[in-house]
Structure 1
Amino acid sequence: MSKREAIERLLNPGSIAIVGVSKDFTSISGKPMKNLIRHQFEGDIYPVNPKYEEIEGFTCFPSLLDVPGKIDVALIAVSSKRMMQILSECEQKQVRSVILFGSGFAETGEDGERLQAEVLEKAKKAGITILGPNCIGLLNVRTSIPLGFSTSFETEEGFLSGNVGFASQSGALGFSLFGLAQEENIGFSHVINTGNQMDIHTLDCIDYMLEDDGTDVVAGYLEGIPDGEMLIRLAKRAKALKKPLIMLKAGRSEIGRKAAMSHTASLTGSDETFQAIAKQYGLVVANDVDDMIDLMKVFSRGKQTNGNNVVTISNSGAAGIAMADYSEPLGLELVRLPNETQAKVEEIIPSYGSALNPIDITAQALKEQHILTDTLEVLINEDEVNVIVVQTTFGGELGQNICEKIAEIDKTTEKPIVVTITGTTEITGEGRAILEKASVPVYKTSYKTMFAVKHLADFSRFCLKEEKDPFELPAIEERDDPTGIWTEVRVKKELFSLGIRIPQGTLIKDREHLQKVKANVPYPVVCKGISKDVLHKTDAGSVKVNIKNAVELEDAYESIASSLRAYNPDADIDGILAEEMLQDESVEMFIGVKEDPQFGPLIVCGLGGIFVEVLQDISIRHAPIDAEEASDMLKELKGYPLLEGIRGGSRRDIPALAETLARISQYASTHNGHIQEMDINPLWVFEEGQDVAALDGIIVWKNKKDTVVN
């Protein structure tokens, strides 16, 4: 049974057994049954506990083997120590889907990890699929089937069904968020808590929800990423389906990462890497629960934009200014209206208002409510406007009338209309409820509104980006079992084979070799000590520049050799590299490759030399990338203006730099799984049309890192 089939069965069971059930319906082991009864589950319920003969009129069975009918799903509420016995009963009874509520597994340490591994192994052999452990269940909102003990299941008012699917590694956070979102009139299709992700993990649930016809927005809370390649594949699928994939990722701080390990035994990974993957593949990233709800709200409406041109309408000049202030840092454009459209707006609003964007309709709209709605109708027909933001403080009957009119207008257009209503629930609540019922996104503050609009515009723009045919990687020879640390000399040979310029140079291995080559060295030169044991040459005093002749070369050789021995007496020294000294004006960059345990090879770039450590101005992508993606990567750098040329400086060869980035990324992809890290630093970028040159580099391969190859 595939994971999708298993999730389908968990969400739509015809019969449910509750193992370890309690008559105390306030307890964890009693709530699952109470919730099924409360929400009138129409299938068969089989309580299992040898302590009782019946519970609430249902026959209670001593064990699973005593249940007379077929069991689709077993809810297990017993000690982790009894799991092997319960799984044996599930196997005999041919129960194929299980939810484990209990803790005491991998999150508790080595013993728990061992038990979790044993339980999973036994379940796989028996063909049993497990959700959990350490989880509180799931909810099929469409059919009101709650399988678990979340307090969110205890509502007497029922659940609001809709088009948002949510998978959460945390049960408490997940179902709390669900409850809060329901209060905001956001409807869901399914909510699933995965806990320790022993078998079914969060990405499996996201995969299911993306393919569900009634789910248009998919959200996930992750503490760890169980499969980086799968996350990327799901992001690509979400784009193809135009379904926003909203992610809230925990463990961004060191303390958060440690807490996540103790919570659900998750390896959280680098937040910097996750953010880079999200940006590259179009994931919508939330920072907290409020963000997640705000994003669910704007995306569940189903409207997308053709751009990020925003126009705002407000009855308060201050509110308009606030929205303008938020727009710029969020990357939104408060578009200037065409003269003709501006003239139409001026005819509607008072003379002391403003038809410039942000549009100030003034408090006169309190008396003449048509001012707001007439202005709104004008803007709907303006092609230059992609999103319309309406801000109002109107409450009472006037506010309700305006909200009803906005809702009516919203139905006539595919253009997103997003509303901010600032005021207390007592004064503005009924108007807000009208918009929520009509699925018009409505927020209480200008920042929340503009934050939601920013992500709507970003995702819409990402979906509109044409899918390019996969680019062909150039023929790159994959080395047979590359080993150890490749120092600068060996790395430069590799770079040269990729078509990347390197300085002309000679590795002088000893004094005898020095006498043979000193007359043919391309003076002036730079001399550098080469050793796998001394990777930071400057720290060891093993770099000499501007060597002009053979005499200076001999002096530099002796000086560097002496410095290397003093710095590390045990260093294995390969020789002294004498290399042409490039003197053209340049900008120093670096390119790096890092093998991420979750996502594989990552390509990193930034300003080179010492600046990479000091400024931390870097851009990251998942490899491989093409030159176009590499160009976008460069534009993210704060130091990018240096490449464009500032204060009379020359423009640099940005196309050559982008092409080099792409080639290195493709090299990393070809050697996926073998490179631990790779650095080219510095990489000099010369004037436009003059190429780039790699001045130093290192590759650390994963196997036999104590071996060096030159």
Structure 2
Amino acid sequence: MGRLNRLLRPRSIAVIGGGVWCANVIEQCRKVGFQGDIWPVHPTKPEVGGLATYPSIETLPSAPDASFIGVNRNVTIEAVAALSAVGAGGAICFASGFREASAELLDGAALEQALLEAAGDMPIIGPNCYGLLNLLDGAALWPDQHGTTRCDSGVAIITQSSNIAINLTMQRRGLPVAYVVTAGNQAQTGLAEIGQALLEDSRVTALGLHIEGIGDLRAFEALARRATELGKPIVALKIGRSDQARAATISHTASLAGSDAGARALLRRLGIGQVDDLSAFLEALKLLHITGPLSSNRIASASCSGGEASLMADAAHTYQIDFPPLTPTQSDGLRAALGPKVALANPLDYHTYIWGDAAAMTATFTALLQGDLSLGIVVLDFPRTDRCDGAEWDLVIDSVEATMTATGRPMGILASLTDTMPEAVAQDLMARGIVPFSGMKEAMAAIDLAANLPAMTTDALFLEPPADKGSTLSEAEAKSALAQFGLRVPGADRAISPETAAAVADSVGFPVVLKGEGVAHKTEAGAVALGLSTASQVETAARAMPTDSFLVEEMLTAVLAELLVGVTHDPAHGYVLTLAAGGTLTEILKDSRSLLVPASRTHIRAALEQLRIAPLLAGYRGAAPADMNAVLDAIDAIQSYVMANPVAEIEVNPLMVMADRAVAADALIRTGGET
């Protein structure tokens, strides 16, 4: 664990302050069975939490491994300085009112800088955080109640929200939690550094991150790289989908590439699985704790109800989960176990003929799990223990366990409702190595994540920022700049009047496209005319446009598809490469995929194949297929320009895709953050 080892796995804890929060820390340490020394520090109170106090940090028996500082923000700085001076292992800073409150407190940023200077080389977590729970060794620098229990191995959870951390500790899903750490405002120590330290503990099986904002992208890359090396998966719940990374509205790309697009692209690039709610977060961690990443998305499901089988199929429909048809081997085995009356399928409704017959259920589940499958599921909602007898349900558990032994495949028991998976049952299933899924939707999200974890991209992100100020290039200037990096553009020339536009059109060659310069969103503004075939048509069209300068271009024909290719600088995630349906379809379809620069040709091709307009690129209804190498060359040219000339924004829309080439019909470049 390196720098954070003493703080995360302390053998001595100092509790600084005399309020209820500090007394709670002492109580929670007792509850989790902390075996080390606990030293309360207070200048006037004789005892805190039933323990005799020390009047100052300097009078402690030795430098504490970990400290909980539960005093106001000004005294927190003094305490941090004193702890650093005596060689303490690290501290939790509970107080708020630092940089996170800069909008409300004029001195917040200055006090945070003073806190960092006071800490020096000593690690601090926070400020404005609850602290940490180590349930492996029994340490609780935690000022409130929590619902966790000790475990021998489990998952680690880091969150920037202390209240969400408390809520997660109250889960009743049987998930063994090894660590809970709240990061607060990450003044010194960020999620990535904490996460890497936790993953180094051999008893931690997976890492869960609740993320409000990502600070150090290089540190996040290092975290993902180390997780890959250790073979320990990461699950992220990233909030902020409604925010836009940028306020600019001069391009379609800016509206498509919001902060959520950048965050999702970043997490995919780093090989981190993403979920959208807390329930799926816990279910995914539970599955990964037991099975690790699944070998494929091919699963089988069995239940004693046709309704449940249908619900399973429907629940998986929106995910990348496959219920493959039964093979002859599976069908023969199931027919032998179930007899002639049961319709065989996957998901399977095995009816109730074999209910209560452990041998028959084992034979059924074992037959179903033959073939190329990564996971078997038995749908089973457990009865209320206060009103019902669950003895027959225990036989199903025994049969699932016997099937796992016979087949060597992981299995889960899935309660369709979270209410019908009692905590005691979930804990028993976990102890047997059976995944106790709580809720169909949550289970499908977890399986989808575990089966489709992306491989980490090894190329480092491009993070060089654009200039603070810049300008917006004209279309002709943008095309010329991009053409120098290999982007193909139409033959064109400029004109400064309707009359000269007509003359230029003769030299370009009819038919032509006429565009008014200096106009954003030309189609909406009436500043573009297509397919003009005479000089007279060109002059007439020019006079109708709201501008005095024009671009005359060759008219591109035999176009198979129009793409948008854009790059925007997202300060939180790097440069977001957006691929979308282009032209007039951009706003209508909102059909886009996002990657981060630099993106490989393999990943770009895969993203293009996920677009709804992908069939047009493949050759739709007998049309010729697009020249995909030309498309990839065009996108590479745009990326190369960005990496050589960091800019705020580039958009090529449309990139006209044909059977033998890909040509940028329009281009925009904004060079800096302010114009």
* TM superposition score normalised by structure 1: 0.84
Task: Confirm whether residue 48 of structure 1 aligns to residue 41 of structure 2.
Answer: yes
Task: Confirm whether residue 535 of structure 1 aligns to residue 535 of structure 2.
Answer: no
Deviation of 1:441 after TM superposition, in Å, equals 0.6
Inter-CA distance 195–394: structure 2 relative to 1 (3 Å threshold): closer
- Partner in structure 2 of residue 420 of structure 1: 414
Q: Tell whether the 8 Å contact from 1:141 to 1:188 is kept in structure 2 after alignment.
A: yes
Task: Confirm whether residue 617 of structure 1 aligns to residue 591 of structure 2.
Answer: yes
- Partner in structure 1 of residue 547 of structure 2: 564
Q: Tell whether the 8 Å contact from 2:14 to 2:39 is kept in structure 1 after alignment.
A: yes
Deviation of 1:193 after TM superposition, in Å, equals 0.8
Deviation of 1:619 after TM superposition, in Å, equals 0.8
Task: Confirm whether residue 639 of structure 1 aligns to residue 613 of structure 2.
Answer: yes
Deviation of 1:87 after TM superposition, in Å, equals 3.3
Unpaired segments ≥5 residues, structure 1: 258-268, 566-574
Task: Confirm whether residue 338 of structure 1 aligns to residue 327 of structure 2.
Answer: yes
Task: Confirm whether residue 136 of structure 1 aligns to residue 119 of structure 2.
Answer: no
Deviations 1:414-444 (A, max 9, x none): 4221212468989977655532321311224
- Partner in structure 2 of residue 318 of structure 1: 307
Q: Measure, in 1, the Cα distance between the counterparts of 2:223 and 2:418.
A: 40
- Partner in structure 1 of residue 249 of structure 2: none
Amino acid at match of 2:627: D
- Partner in structure 2 of residue 667 of structure 1: 641
Amino acid at match of 1:588: E
Amino acid at match of 2:651: D
Deviation of 1:10 after TM superposition, in Å, equals 0.6
After superposition, residues 293-442 of structure 1 pair within 5 angstroms as: 293-380=282-369, 382-393=370-381, 396-411=390-405, 413-421=407-415, 432-442=426-436
- Partner in structure 1 of residue 2 of structure 2: 5
Amino acid at match of 2:482: L
Amino acid at match of 2:46: E
Inter-CA distance 472–621: structure 2 relative to 1 (3 Å threshold): closer
Amino acid at match of 1:164: V
Deviation of 1:94 after TM superposition, in Å, equals 3.3
- Partner in structure 1 of residue 275 of structure 2: 286
Inter-CA distance 325–604: structure 2 relative to 1 (3 Å threshold): same
* TM superposition score normalised by structure 2: 0.88
- Partner in structure 2 of residue 89 of structure 1: 82
Q: Tell whether the 8 Å contact from 1:529 to 1:564 is kept in structure 2 after alignment.
A: yes
Task: Confirm whether residue 676 of structure 1 aligns to residue 648 of structure 2.
Answer: yes
Inter-CA distance 480–35: structure 2 relative to 1 (3 Å threshold): closer
Cα root mean square deviation, aligned: 3.3
Q: Measure, in 2, the Cα distance between the counterparts of 1:332 and 1:91.
A: 52
- Partner in structure 1 of residue 480 of structure 2: 493
- Partner in structure 2 of residue 166 of structure 1: 157
Q: Tell whether the 8 Å contact from 1:311 to 1:387 is kept in structure 2 after alignment.
A: yes
Q: Tell whether the 8 Å contact from 1:304 to 1:416 is kept in structure 2 after alignment.
A: no
- Partner in structure 1 of residue 223 of structure 2: 234
- Partner in structure 1 of residue 66 of structure 2: 73
Q: Measure, in 1, the Cα distance between the counterparts of 2:51 and 2:604.
A: 64
Q: Measure, in 2, the Cα distance between the counterparts of 1:591 and 1:406.
A: 50
User: SS at the partner of 2:547?
Assistant: helix
Q: Give the paired residue count.
A: 653
Q: Measure, in 1, the Cα distance between the counterparts of 2:114 and 2:323.
A: 57
Q: Measure, in 2, the Cα distance between the counterparts of 1:303 and 1:224.
A: 27
Deviation of 1:610 after TM superposition, in Å, equals 2.6
- Partner in structure 2 of residue 572 of structure 1: none
Moved more, 332-341 or 106-115: 106-115
Inter-CA distance 146–429: structure 2 relative to 1 (3 Å threshold): closer
Inter-CA distance 431–8: structure 2 relative to 1 (3 Å threshold): closer
Task: Confirm whether residue 212 of structure 1 aligns to residue 201 of structure 2.
Answer: yes
- Partner in structure 2 of residue 591 of structure 1: 565
Deviation of 1:398 after TM superposition, in Å, equals 2.1
Q: Tell whether the 8 Å contact from 1:625 to 1:666 is kept in structure 2 after alignment.
A: no
Q: Measure, in 2, the Cα distance between the counterparts of 1:363 and 1:145.
A: 49
- Partner in structure 1 of residue 139 of structure 2: 145
Deviation of 1:521 after TM superposition, in Å, equals 2.9
Deviations 1:495-535 (A, max 9, x none): 3233332111112356997798565332222222323xx33
Inter-CA distance 419–639: structure 2 relative to 1 (3 Å threshold): same
Q: Measure, in 2, the Cα distance between the counterparts of 1:335 and 1:439.
A: 24
- Partner in structure 2 of residue 179 of structure 1: 170
User: SS at the partner of 1:78?
Assistant: coil
Q: Tell whether the 8 Å contact from 1:403 to 1:431 is kept in structure 2 after alignment.
A: no
Deviations 1:270-323 (A, max 9, x none): 223212323343322222221111111111103443321222122112111211
Deviation of 1:249 after TM superposition, in Å, equals 1.6
User: SS at the partner of 1:216?
Assistant: strand
- Partner in structure 2 of residue 700 of structure 1: 670
Q: Measure, in 2, the Cα distance between the counterparts of 1:67 and 1:429.
A: 43
Deviation of 1:681 after TM superposition, in Å, equals 0.9
Deviation of 1:204 after TM superposition, in Å, equals 1.5
Inter-CA distance 432–422: structure 2 relative to 1 (3 Å threshold): farther
Moved more, 138-147 or 231-240: 231-240
Q: Tell whether the 8 Å contact from 2:26 to 2:49 is kept in structure 1 after alignment.
A: no
Task: Confirm whether residue 123 of structure 1 aligns to residue 97 of structure 2.
Answer: no
Q: Tell whether the 8 Å contact from 1:161 to 1:188 is kept in structure 2 after alignment.
A: no
Moved more, 513-522 or 589-598: 513-522
Deviation of 1:698 after TM superposition, in Å, equals 0.9
- Partner in structure 2 of residue 570 of structure 1: none
Q: Measure, in 2, the Cα distance between the counterparts of 1:579 and 1:304.
A: 52
Amino acid at match of 1:338: T
2:266 counterpart (260, 267, 277): 277
Q: Measure, in 2, the Cα distance between the counterparts of 1:39 and 1:468.
A: 40
Moved more, 139-148 or 126-135: 126-135
Q: Tell whether the 8 Å contact from 2:382 to 2:422 is kept in structure 1 after alignment.
A: yes
1:626 counterpart (575, 594, 600): 600
Deviation of 1:558 after TM superposition, in Å, equals 5.1
Amino acid at match of 2:231: K
Deviation of 1:479 after TM superposition, in Å, equals 12
2:471 counterpart (458, 481, 484): 484
Q: Tell whether the 8 Å contact from 2:421 to 2:436 is kept in structure 1 after alignment.
A: no
Inter-CA distance 480–309: structure 2 relative to 1 (3 Å threshold): closer
- Partner in structure 2 of residue 60 of structure 1: 53
- Partner in structure 1 of residue 512 of structure 2: 525
Q: Measure, in 2, the Cα distance between the counterparts of 1:641 and 1:28.
A: 61
User: SS at the partner of 2:522?
Assistant: coil
Q: Measure, in 1, the Cα distance between the counterparts of 2:452 and 2:516.
A: 49
**Larger RCO, structure (CA 8 Å, separation 6 or more):** 2
Q: Measure, in 2, the Cα distance between the counterparts of 1:98 and 1:471.
A: 32
Deviations 1:62-86 (A, max 9, x none): 2212324223323211111323333
Deviations 1:144-170 (A, max 9, x none): 1111213017x7xx4234221111111
Unpaired segments ≥5 residues, structure 2: 247-257, 384-389
Deviations 1:555-589 (A, max 9, x none): 555554xx316xxxxxxxxx422211223243222
Q: Tell whether the 8 Å contact from 2:459 to 2:598 is kept in structure 1 after alignment.
A: no
Deviation of 1:92 after TM superposition, in Å, equals 3.6
What percentage of residue pairs aligned between the two structures are identical? 25
Deviations 1:362-414 (A, max 9, x none): 1011243322211222344x232232111235762222133123224324554
Q: Measure, in 2, the Cα distance between the counterparts of 1:103 and 1:471.
A: 35
User: SS at the partner of 1:152?
Assistant: coil
